[in-house]
Amino acid sequence: MVLELSQQQIHLLHACLAESVDQLRDEVLHTDERALREALKVKLDQLQDLQRQVDSLMRAEDGEATLRM
């Protein structure tokens, strides 16, 4: 999937991802069931990968940017 995003959309996505990563990290830390915790860690890794892509886009600061998912 490819998304065309404006700088404003990139900044909004960055903020949302940061909040989601923080919340999911807390959930991983406070989950007792091992299988569920492992599944949450996989999701956390995916979110963090996406967050790194968005960070790269923010550094590029081209008017419009492409995000590959």
Given a cut of 80, whether residue 2 has pLDDT beyond it is no
Query: pLDDT band at 65, cuts 50/70/90?
Result: low
47 or 3, which is more confident?
47
Residue ranges of domains in the chain:
2-68
pLDDT tens for each residue of 19-55:
999 999 999 999 999 999 999 999 999 999 999 999 8
Q: Which pTM was predicted?
A: 0.78
Q: Across the chain, how many H-helices and E-strands are there? A: 2, 2
